[in-house]
Amino acid sequence: MHSIREMQKIMSLILSFGVLLSFCLVITGGGMYLLQHGDSILQAELIESNLYSTNIFIIWHTALSLSPLAIIELGFLVLVATQAIRVAMLVWFYFVTQDYWFTSISIFILITLIYGFIWRS
């Protein structure tokens, strides 16, 4: 798979799937949240608090327990992971095509994304 057109096709499919999955998770979690708390008055402390988890494993575990906020967080996590997958594919593509300048730039971006995942956890 050295063709630019093939790479673009695969990347567009992955990005489309990731964005669609993320959208479905956020809409589902938002709908569940409204069904459970739609008649309550939103308190400003909820928006300003640090109750939201940034740990990937905690988000996954609480999303499996069908927590609406965790499902929304999982949707956003899928959106960010989709971009990380895209950058990883670019690293591979640039390496295979022997474009080492863009390979090194893409590796730097990928390391930054992975560090952001781990550091925030």
**pTM (whole model) above 0.75:** yes
115 CB neighbour count, 10 Å cutoff: 10
Residue 93 in any domain: the answer is: yes
Residue 68 in any domain: the answer is: yes
Least confident residue range of 7-11, 12-16, 39-43, 109-113:
39-43
What does the pLDDT look like over 92-118, one tens digit per residue? 999 998 989 999 999 999 999 888 877
Number of structural domains found in the chain: 1
Residue 41 in any domain: the answer is: no
∠54-58-64 over CA atoms, to 5°? 125
Residue 3 in any domain: the answer is: no
What does the pLDDT look like over 54-87, one tens digit per residue? 677 777 888 888 888 889 889 998 998 899 999 9
Question: Is 60 exceeded by the pLDDT of residue 1?
Answer: no
Segments forming the whole domain that contains residue 60: 11-33+55-120
Residue 70 in any domain: the answer is: yes
Residue 60 in any domain: the answer is: yes
